[in-house]
């Protein structure tokens, strides 16, 4: 979705008129590029979150929360 949004911004700046069936002139290159970028970012964030949890304190949980 971000890639298609960028494609629409580029079309607005360049003055390109899209076909009636497409949201922008260069929909597919931006859509594919945005999809690949999004997949890579998502994998990196998931790995970072998993490693951050495993490096944390061993006895974290509800017994140390402020509510209990």
pLDDT in tens, 58-67: 555 555 555 5
**Mean pLDDT value across the chain:** 78
Name the domain count of the chain. 1
In this prediction, residue 45 has a pLDDT band, given cuts at 50, 70 and 90, of very high
pLDDT in tens, 21-40: 777 887 788 888 888 888 89
Cβ proximity of 8 and 24 under 8 Å: yes
Residue 65 lies in a domain: no
Would the pTM of this model clear 0.75, i.e. be above it? Answer: no
Residue 66 lies in a domain: no
| CA triple 60-55-48, angle to 5 deg | 115
Residue 48 lies in a domain: yes
Question: Which residues constitute the domain of residue 23?
Answer: 2-52
Residue 7 lies in a domain: yes
Would you state the pLDDT for residue 15? Answer: 86
């Amino acid at each position: 979705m971000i890639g298609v949004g960028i494609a629409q911004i580029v079309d607005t700046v360049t003055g390109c008129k899209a076909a009636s069936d497409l949201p922008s002139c260069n929909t597919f290159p931006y859509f594919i590029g945005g999809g690949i970028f999004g997949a890579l970012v998502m994998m990196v964030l998931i790995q970072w979150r998993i490693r951050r949890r495993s490096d944390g304190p061993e006895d974290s949980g509800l017994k140390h929360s402020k509510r209990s």
